[in-house]
Amino acid sequence: MPKTEPGGLRRDTILTHAGRHPDENRGFVNPPVYHASTILFPSMAFALGEEVPEGKVYRYGRLGTPTSESFEEAVAAIEGAAGVVSVSSGLAAITLTMTTFLKAGDHVLVTDSAYRPTRNFGNQVLSRYGISVEYYDPAIGAGIADLIRDTTRVIYLESPGSMTFEVQDVPAITEVARRNGILTMIDNTWATPYFLRPFDLGVDISIHAGTKYFVGHSDAMIGAISCASREHYDRIKAEQGLFGQCAGPDDLYLAQRGMRTMSVRLKQHQEAGLMIADWLQGREEVDHVRHPGLPGAPGHDLWTRDFTGATGLFSFVLKDYPKAAVAEMMDHMDLFGMGASWGGYESLILPGRPDKIRTATTWPHKGFTVRLHIGLEDPADLIDDLSRGFDRLRAAVG
Ligand SMILES: *Cc1c(COP(=O)(O)O)cnc(C)c1O
């Protein structure tokens, strides 16, 4: 088996060991959870900032604890990052990274397939501070060169895109960015560092909603920002302090604990997801399936080139059924819950209308787009549930 990581250890081993220090914690396998606001200072000189003691120092709960470090160290190890900053949610990770590197007068290019709250932040906050936000076709590749202005500072990628699952030509875009001195950020929540290593593709900063697969149990919210360079890490860490951003100790603990089993969970999500995607492809009610790991599906070639696996989230486009008929399917599922977020052990279903969101591209499909998160249930039971849903859909149109 080839060694896939620069340090020599393979990724499953890294996930199991990174960020834990039993030798420093009386032998306890798991790192302790430090609940903290005040951390007592050793001296007046320390309080005045005149004396910096030897070794690791902690000053205040918000600024970092052994608990935040444990999670950040684990993410850094699996992604090959120079440094990781943890924050209170995936969205906070996105917004903090944007504000660190953007200022009034700057121009930022954002993929048209981006997670909707990312767009909302661009449209409602960045624009209010005089930053110009422009959306680009996720399929643009090297053509992004035509959109670059003197003021372009950041290119924001998400691959595959939320809801619609276009796979971007990441190296083609980062190559143009590097030539022009532009920073690239990617939302790597879907693949996790387990299935995509953005730094190998020239990306500067990788952003995670750890809420999803790191946590893996739908019971905590956390964000992580991974940086290829120490310089970018230092800037984001400073910005985090200025904004007062931090993650809670129990959420940090749950996220690092979730990472210990992430590889087995992801393999199961992948296998069941592909099985169900393949089954959906044969259904008469389905216009097409949008799962990058499925041969023939949109983005499959780029996915094969750049990714080492697929997680459990994908979508399919229904034929053009009326809303009331689609609701008959959606509203009575037995196993699939309907809700935002994903990455937990349970399956979810979510209807959407990408045509109402996009601005740089048009979404040509008339039917509803349905996003599925395939959990850890037996996929045969999930197929039965979907099958009953399709029966209701067809019955509703008569
Ligand atoms: C959920 C999600 C986020 C935001 O994460 P939160 O922890 O919910 O704030 C960001 N990007 C993608 C792709 C997501 O699915």
Take residue 234 and report the two structure tokens written for it.
């230092």
- The residues, any chain, with a CB within 8 Å of residue 210's CB and separated by 6 or more, are 71, 75, 86, 90, 222, 223, 224, 255
Nearest CA to ligand 1 atom 4: 90
Closest CA to 266 of 190, 159, 335: 190
Nearest CA to ligand 1 atom 5: 90
Question: Which of the residues are catalytic?
Answer: 62, 115, 187, 212
Give phi and psi for 87, each to the nearest 5. Answer: -135, 180
Q: What does each of the 398 residues of the chain score in pLDDT, given as a tens digit?
A: 334 455 589 999 999 999 999 999 999 999 999 999 999 999 999 999 998 888 889 999 999 999 999 999 999 999 999 999 999 999 999 999 999 999 999 999 999 999 999 999 999 999 999 999 999 999 999 999 999 999 999 999 999 998 999 999 999 999 999 999 999 999 999 999 999 999 999 999 999 999 999 999 999 999 999 999 999 999 999 999 999 999 999 999 999 999 999 999 999 999 999 999 999 999 999 999 999 999 999 999 999 999 999 999 999 999 999 999 999 999 999 999 999 999 999 999 999 999 999 999 999 999 999 999 999 999 999 999 999 999 999 999 98
How many residues are there in the chain? 398
Amino acid letter, 298: P
pLDDT confidence of residue 162: 85
Expressed in angstroms and rounded, the spacing between residue 392 Cα and the centre of ligand 1 is 31
Expressed in angstroms and rounded, the spacing between residue 90 Cα and the centre of ligand 1 is 5
- The residues, any chain, with a CB within 8 Å of residue 242's CB and separated by 6 or more, are none
3-class SS at 48? coil
- The residues, any chain, with a CB within 8 Å of residue 116's CB and separated by 6 or more, are 162, 163, 357
pLDDT confidence of residue 2: 39
Per DSSP, what are the bridge partners of residue 183?
A: 154
Expressed in angstroms and rounded, the spacing between residue 235 Cα and the centre of ligand 1 is 22
Q: CA 373 to CA 358: how far, in whole Å?
A: 22
pLDDT confidence of residue 294: 97
Expressed in angstroms and rounded, the spacing between residue 44 Cα and the centre of ligand 1 is 43
Enumerate residues lining ligand 1, CB below 6 A.
89-91, 115, 162, 187, 189, 209, 211-212, 221, 223, 341
pTM for the whole structure: 0.96
> Of 211, 214, 222, 315, which is best to mutate to test ligand 1, by the most ligand atoms within 8 angstroms of its C-beta?
211
Amino acid letter, 51: E
Nearest CA to ligand 1 atom 6: 90
